[in-house]
Structure 1
Amino acid sequence: MIVYMFLAVVLFIKCTDGSYFRGGTISWLPQTNNPPVINSTQAIIINQRYAWLESTVSSVCSPTTILSYGLIGDNTTNKLNCLSSSTTCTSANFPTNLTTLVPCTDYNSLLNMSTGESSLIFNLTVKTDGLVIGYGSHSTDLSWMPLNMINDSALVNISMYLNLSARSDNGLINSSPTTSNPFVIFVQVNVNTSINIPMADIDGDIIQCRFAESSKNYNGILVDECGEVCYSEALPNATVLFSDDSICTLNVTLPSSGYYAVALQLEDFLENATEPLSSVPLQFVLYAYEESNITTNSSTNCTIAPNITSIDPDNPSPGSTVYAAVNVPYTATINAQSGCGIQPNTSIINFLTISPPGMIKTDVPFLESDGSTYGINLLWVPTSDQLGMNYTFCAIAIDINLYTSEQYCFDFMVGPKTTTSGPYITQPMTTITTTSTTTTTTGQPVNYLPLAVGLGIGIGLPLLCLLGFIARSYIQRYLFGFLRSISDSRVGNYRNADDLSLQKMSPPPTRSLDKKDLKKTPDYREQYINEKNSSSSPPSPPSPYNQKQSNLIRRKSASPSTTSAFELGSLSSTTISMFSSTTNALLTDRVEHITASSSTTNPLLLGGSILVRAYNKQNDSV
């Protein structure tokens, strides 16, 4: 109970008069990507986000205010002013009705804070020297909430520089940096704290941050960017701001409890450039607290920051995009746990949120069924007026010791009403480039037809080729063999005259062979027939008898009724005997015994095969 009294009385002071400013930021982007023309008009979108004390009459907020898009802000000072030269700030070049009143999007009763955001579209004249727009005490008094280091109320000045002329790299209009930084950050007293400032740029430019200046020169025009909360007045002297390529870190040590204002400018640059393309403001407060004032139980010694564990049921990852449909309710639960789990007195007591217009949330976190997780519920029904808009949602969990989690942010894109009951999610891109040739991830439903066709070609075509090769092998082995056997049975195999003479003179018996024998049986001519002459002397011409016999056999071989000695397509083989058909034995007398010196030399011995010569030898012996 003591902690809540402290938060209500010391930390979040209730004020009843004034609109006490608590921070703000302004950014801009072109409505289209049309190349600009000097002295022509271009439609520009101005985004404004401000924070106020909720207890004031003009900034009170509730679920009813959010659902009705009720406006909050200062009742008397609520216009954006042109701060450039008088020739630039004419009514023809700059509208005079740009309001700073914004629809309330979030409120936090424990923090006594209301925040709102708006997007305005209007036409501006393109000038070579750019334009400076500001809000605050440039025209009337606008005060901050009570701040440390400042005795009286500090005046507010917040300024933005934009240049609508063509960028030198792509000829288009620039878009300014943006930030999702919360408007209140908790810092423990006398503890050196590093605060990372989130920055983004849709053009992919280099982003730098700097402290706002009381007299900043924009093309000869001096502009007050920070009013009475400039660095030297609102922060300790030891405060340091580090800025590197798209990284901004504030290093600060606060000496006493209370509020401190921070006024920064975020600027985008082309590579190797020294002059910014644009400069946008970011102003917020730091709350310094002493741990002894917060801790009420000596058993609470958890110094680990809490963390947001999930956002059910869709669980969008940080940086992803949720596509929500018009008039379709979006519901979710933000879940967070203390860094020390279920340790006593380490509960989650609050959530800081940045929400799209019209989203309502649970005011106080509730304990979930697991006993260690705390959550708040979200409900949003996008309207037709929000069709095509982009919104950022962010959440930070705060535990009872005022330790805060990392900020958890994702984006909403509002699309047309669909037949589905919920959103679909696009995860963040792994590569961040913004050139015209870059392909980016969109949230449209995926068309799987090209993938199916690609897989069909990539897998089916090689498979068909393999099946065709196998089929071809089997056709060659079986079908072609079968056709060849038919052909051989009709036409016959032509051999030399000597072989055919032997077949005619000694008709061979046949026997059946199985396939195994057929494979093991060598070709008959390779095993037994030698085509070479037995002598180096030229062969004698064949006798008329042999010539006549050879011609007769060749004609008979061509007859369809004649079968070859060996048929590839059949399972039969022919064995030839050099004696009689009743004897199935090979010649026992060796061929080497026949010599060319014999006195009665038969012409067939000098020419023809070994078998022919052996046959002649047999006839001579008879």
Structure 2
Amino acid sequence: MLTGMKLFSLVDLVLAVILLPSVTSHFFLGGTMSFEPVDFEPGDEFILSDILWKFRFRAAWNRSDEYNFCNQSIISSQVLLGDSHPENAFYCEDCEYDSELALGTAQYICSSYSKEEDWSAGENVFYVNFSSSNPVIYHYDCCWISGLLTYDEDYGLLYDRYYALLATFASMSAFRPDTGTVNASPVSAVIPLMRLRTGCEYSIRIHIEDPDGDLTRCRLAEESECEDGCVGKYGLNFTLLQQSPCVINFQPLEAIQGLHPVSLMIGDFGSDDQLLSYVSLAFVVDVVHGVGSHCTAYVAFEKSTVADGTCIGIEPNATFETTIYVKEEPCSSVIDIVLSAPVGVNRSDIIGQSPHKEMTIMWKPEPYQYGYNLLCFQASDDYAMYTEQRCITLVAGAAAFETVPQSASFNGSDAVPLSTASFTIEFDNDVFLPSVSRNITMSKTHLSDVLLDSLEVLVAFDTSVSELVNTTGRVLTFVLPVGIQLEQSTYYSIEIGFGAVVSKRPCSGGGVPFPGLDNWKFKTSI
């Protein structure tokens, strides 16, 4: 560990992934890139050349290409996809490296795919040291997906545009006095291809996390940042509804049916509202003719599916698991549940009896994946339409959950008055209500020196929606419903279920779920 602290002025660092046309059969469907310092802690002396930077990219290509074919077996084997030629790599300009020296391969490890939409997507990382202040990291390749439509104000609709630019531009603060460390860029992800119907209105939230907890904003990319991948905004008839959080409003027109590129720039801002970095996010929108009144799929996520924007910490060596539940409307079927996922995520088959289907996702992060990882998912139906996209944040390698109960309003041998209607429990840090359905249950019980076996459930609260449950700072409070009253000389047990409250640590949104409490017990007075 280096000691001491030295302040440096801003260092301009430009990181770009540039894709240019060549003779090829593989086609680009979007992606993103981010960076973060490795093993730099507050209090370390800042020396630019001593900092190791980790670059992570996620990209999607057509699955029908021989270099990009992916299935579940390939995901499990974690083999590299993409052209294996040594020149398929990232390079650097305006830095101390030879411009022909490869910094890292542009091949990727597949983590998700879609048979119906013909895409494979995955991630990879590479590590770089810099001593120059203005390096440009780039990768030349080709092309946007065949049949892409863009719109030019002078020339109208254009077809098969090739140039694409996937970039991370960072005016990176060499040292940040507000955090005592150096900056890490925002992290974002999206399903590579979204299908929208003409005559419908859509608002799509772009999920963003910032490892430093910085304010993030998004904007439409300019031509110098995305080449032909950004001028589609005119033909798509969309507007940036919000910058923070990032929401795009689409109202596709009948005349522009087909594939369109969408390119955004996502920036993070320090405590003085100074721009620290921009990362790009690109994906494809497929506009199809609207039929009937449905603007989304004839299937929908059920309430028990993890909510969009949820943030979950995963302890070192632990495995994350969640189940996606989908309900089918009459005369419709779930065809697939597609993912945009970190490397190593495994999925089960879709099982269940109509109208209820489900699929389980499991992930045990590797040490190099510790930090912020985004997982997005959509379900598709037999009309080739999709549900809304949901994205969650998985903080791999997060410390053990530290929020623990400190005291309760009634506990152990306390004789609780029969008139009691309100219960509180205080934790060691601030807690919040979850965005997905979780429960607190109160039951009448048998008396035992060892345990209290449940006799009868008196009341159950869904903490995500119940008006009888609230949190204020460290305190959780819930109130018995009207008509529910305690009985004299009776033993009760309260169970706070997994995730019934959440902590904001270490996530900037959503929350890490409380692991649960099942031994809160008491007896009423005579």
Check whether TM > 0.5.
Answer: yes
Q: 1:30 aligns with which of 37, 53, 60?
A: 37
Retained in 2: the 8 A contact 1:106–1:354? yes
Retained in 1: the 8 A contact 2:207–2:309? no
Task: Name the structure 2 match of 1:391.
Answer: 373
Offset at residue 61 of structure 1 (A)? 0.6
The whole-number CA distance in structure 1 between the counterparts of 2:36 and 2:501 is 24
The whole-number CA distance in structure 2 between the counterparts of 1:360 and 1:433 is 23
The whole-number CA distance in structure 2 between the counterparts of 1:152 and 1:205 is 38
Does residue 258 (structure 1) correspond to residue 332 (structure 2)? The answer is no
Retained in 2: the 8 A contact 1:61–1:114? yes
The whole-number CA distance in structure 1 between the counterparts of 2:59 and 2:245 is 23
Retained in 2: the 8 A contact 1:180–1:199? yes
Offset at residue 442 of structure 1 (A)? 7.3
**Taking CA–CA contacts closer than 8 Å with sequence separation of 6 or more, which of the two structures ends up with the larger relative contact order?**
2
Offset at residue 168 of structure 1 (A)? 4.3
Offset at residue 271 of structure 1 (A)? 4.5
Task: Name the structure 2 match of 1:374.
Answer: 357
Amino acid paired to 1:43? L
Cα distance change of structure 1 residues 94 and 198 upon mapping to structure 2, 3 Å threshold: farther
Cα distance change of structure 1 residues 164 and 357 upon mapping to structure 2, 3 Å threshold: same
Does residue 335 (structure 1) correspond to residue 325 (structure 2)? The answer is yes
Matches within 5 A, 1:1-40: 18-34=25-41, 35=44, 37-40=46-49
TM-score normalized by the length of structure 2: 0.63
Retained in 1: the 8 A contact 2:103–2:126? no
- SS of residue paired to 1:65: helix
The whole-number CA distance in structure 1 between the counterparts of 2:199 and 2:388 is 20
The whole-number CA distance in structure 2 between the counterparts of 1:212 and 1:446 is 44
Cα distance change of structure 1 residues 155 and 427 upon mapping to structure 2, 3 Å threshold: farther
Task: Name the structure 1 match of 2:239.
Answer: 240
Q: Any idea what the Cα deviations from partners look like across 1:224-248, whole Å, max 9, x if unmatched?
A: x2122222x5641743224433434
Q: Any idea what the Cα deviations from partners look like across 1:191-249, whole Å, max 9, x if unmatched?
A: 3433222222122222222222233xxxxxxxxx2122222x56417432244334342
Offset at residue 79 of structure 1 (A)? 2.1
Offset at residue 411 of structure 1 (A)? 1.4
**Mind listing any 5+ residue stretches in structure 1 that lack a counterpart?**
1-15, 216-224, 296-300, 417-423, 435-439, 453-622
Amino acid paired to 2:334? I
Q: Any idea what the Cα deviations from partners look like across 1:132-154, whole Å, max 9, x if unmatched?
A: 433335xxx44443202332341
Matches within 5 A, 1:99-498: 99-125=105-131, 127=133, 130-136=134-140, 141-149=142-150, 150-162=158-170, 163=172, 165-215=174-224, 225-231=225-231, 235-236=234-235, 238-254=237-253, 255-271=255-271, 273=273, 276-292=275-291, 306-309=299-302, 319-321=310-312, 323=314, 326=317, 332-338=322-328, 341=329, 343=330, 345-362=331-348, 365-366=350-351, 368-369=352-353, 371-380=354-363, 382=364, 388=370, 390-401=372-383, 402-411=385-394, 413-414=396-397, 428-430=502-504
Offset at residue 397 of structure 1 (A)? 1.8
The whole-number CA distance in structure 2 between the counterparts of 1:377 and 1:205 is 32
The whole-number CA distance in structure 1 between the counterparts of 2:204 and 2:307 is 25
Cα distance change of structure 1 residues 389 and 37 upon mapping to structure 2, 3 Å threshold: closer
The whole-number CA distance in structure 2 between the counterparts of 1:280 and 1:169 is 21
- SS of residue paired to 2:120: strand
- SS of residue paired to 1:261: strand
Retained in 1: the 8 A contact 2:184–2:211? yes
Task: Name the structure 2 match of 1:569.
Answer: none
Cα distance change of structure 1 residues 107 and 374 upon mapping to structure 2, 3 Å threshold: same
Q: Any idea what the Cα deviations from partners look like across 1:468-520, whole Å, max 9, x if unmatched?
A: xxxxxxxxxxxxxxxxxxxxxxxxxxxxxxxxxxxxxxxxxxxxxxxxxxxxx
Amino acid paired to 1:287? D
Cα distance change of structure 1 residues 204 and 322 upon mapping to structure 2, 3 Å threshold: closer
Cα distance change of structure 1 residues 74 and 212 upon mapping to structure 2, 3 Å threshold: farther
Task: Name the structure 2 match of 1:80.
Answer: 90
Q: Which moved more, 1:190-199 or 1:20-29?
A: 190-199
Cα distance change of structure 1 residues 144 and 38 upon mapping to structure 2, 3 Å threshold: farther
Retained in 2: the 8 A contact 1:316–1:425? no
- SS of residue paired to 2:343: coil
The whole-number CA distance in structure 2 between the counterparts of 1:429 and 1:389 is 17
Retained in 1: the 8 A contact 2:92–2:136? yes
Structure with higher Rg: it is 1
Offset at residue 277 of structure 1 (A)? 0.6
Q: CA RMSD in A?
A: 4.0
Amino acid paired to 2:310? G
Offset at residue 39 of structure 1 (A)? 4.3
The whole-number CA distance in structure 1 between the counterparts of 2:215 and 2:503 is 19
Q: Any idea what the Cα deviations from partners look like across 1:525-547, whole Å, max 9, x if unmatched?
A: xxxxxxxxxxxxxxxxxxxxxxx
Cα distance change of structure 1 residues 42 and 374 upon mapping to structure 2, 3 Å threshold: same
Cα distance change of structure 1 residues 431 and 70 upon mapping to structure 2, 3 Å threshold: closer
Offset at residue 80 of structure 1 (A)? 2.3
Cα distance change of structure 1 residues 251 and 147 upon mapping to structure 2, 3 Å threshold: same
Retained in 1: the 8 A contact 2:31–2:192? yes
The whole-number CA distance in structure 2 between the counterparts of 1:157 and 1:303 is 31
Cα distance change of structure 1 residues 65 and 321 upon mapping to structure 2, 3 Å threshold: same
Cα distance change of structure 1 residues 108 and 245 upon mapping to structure 2, 3 Å threshold: closer
The whole-number CA distance in structure 2 between the counterparts of 1:386 and 1:428 is 26
The whole-number CA distance in structure 1 between the counterparts of 2:309 and 2:169 is 30
Retained in 1: the 8 A contact 2:505–2:511? no
Task: Name the structure 1 match of 2:421.
Answer: none
Offset at residue 48 of structure 1 (A)? 0.6
Offset at residue 324 of structure 1 (A)? 6.3
Cα distance change of structure 1 residues 441 and 228 upon mapping to structure 2, 3 Å threshold: closer
Amino acid paired to 1:81? Y
Offset at residue 166 of structure 1 (A)? 1.0
Amino acid paired to 2:373? Y
Retained in 2: the 8 A contact 1:78–1:101? yes
The whole-number CA distance in structure 2 between the counterparts of 1:428 and 1:100 is 38
The whole-number CA distance in structure 1 between the counterparts of 2:367 and 2:212 is 26
Amino acid paired to 1:400? D
The whole-number CA distance in structure 1 between the counterparts of 2:506 and 2:362 is 31
Retained in 2: the 8 A contact 1:36–1:172? no
The whole-number CA distance in structure 2 between the counterparts of 1:166 and 1:79 is 29
Cα distance change of structure 1 residues 103 and 40 upon mapping to structure 2, 3 Å threshold: same
Offset at residue 394 of structure 1 (A)? 2.5
- SS of residue paired to 1:236: helix
- SS of residue paired to 2:67: helix
The whole-number CA distance in structure 2 between the counterparts of 1:132 and 1:427 is 44
Cα distance change of structure 1 residues 281 and 377 upon mapping to structure 2, 3 Å threshold: same
The whole-number CA distance in structure 2 between the counterparts of 1:276 and 1:103 is 32
Cα distance change of structure 1 residues 432 and 302 upon mapping to structure 2, 3 Å threshold: same
Retained in 1: the 8 A contact 2:197–2:288? yes
Retained in 2: the 8 A contact 1:94–1:125? no
- SS of residue paired to 2:263: strand
Offset at residue 337 of structure 1 (A)? 1.4
